[in-house]
Structure 1
Amino acid sequence: MKTDSQNPVDPSPQGESSTQFSSTRKLPQGFWATFTTTFATIVLAEMGDKTQLATLLISAESGQPWIVFCGAAIALIATSLIGVLLGWWLAKRVSPQAMDMAAGIILLFVSILLLGDVVQM
């Protein structure tokens, strides 16, 4: 089986329709592309969030920034590991289309809840 020009998610020969899951999205290939995409996405998403603010406050109160850094780093590694393992498990069992649909439904539900909170204010 030739794999260098094929999508590793869809091992069917080119031109054939596959019964396995396939995605039309182009994912980054290679170590550095995947690493850079992941790093940039997480850094941008985490800037100014409640975890960063909690770490800032704990560091300021404790006066021991390196211990706070180590504790926060290990906590973020643990939560990231849970997310990676859950994503890996789901990718084996659920099609990308079903994942997109579920994500859309969850985001819609959360948006409706947030809108309800805003209206009640």
Structure 2
Amino acid sequence: MEWKLLATVFASVFIAEMADKTQLVTMLFAADRDVSRWTVFLGAAAALVLTSAIGVAAGAVLSEVINPRIMSLLAGSGFIVIGAWVLWQAIHGGA
């Protein structure tokens, strides 16, 4: 097993998921005193596993068609565009 890659992926996904909409929705479900916390945990964990599996499968398929370097450039550019848009909205009162 590639421990460095495992740690990098874990840290990246952990940071990306921390305090996002998914975690907030999960917290709202768990805050209900009438629900099982284990059921909420298992449902949320299964959803994250499934979305991760879809991401891995899509990345594997796309890497057969698109050079991984190009994929990285596109993903990085996408994040820059999204960040610029969020900043634009914040500066111009949209956020």
Q: TM-score when scaled to structure 2?
A: 0.78
- Compute the displacement of 1:110 (Å): 1.1
Cα 1:111–1:47 shift into 2, 3 Å: closer
Q: Which has the higher contact order (CA 8 A, sep 6+)?
A: 1
Q: CA deviation at 1:107?
A: 1.9
User: Would the alpha carbon gap of residues 79 and 66 (structure 1) be closer, same or farther in structure 2, given more than 3 Å must change?
Assistant: same
The unaligned stretches of length 5 or more in structure 2 are: none
After superposition, the CA RMSD in angstroms is 1.9
Q: Highest Rg: 1 or 2?
A: 1
In structure 2, distance between residues paired with 1:118 and 1:63: 37
Identify the residue that residue 51 of structure 2 maps to in structure 1: 79
**More helix by percentage:** 2
2:38 is equivalent to residue 53 of structure 1: no
- Which aligned segments of 4 or more residues in structure 1 are displaced greater than 6 angstroms? none
The size of the alignment, in residue pairs, is: 92
| Structure 1 runs not aligned, ≥5 long | 1-29
Q: What is the TM-score normalised by the length of structure 1?
A: 0.64
- Paired with 1:105 and 1:35, the residues of 2 have a C-alpha distance of 24
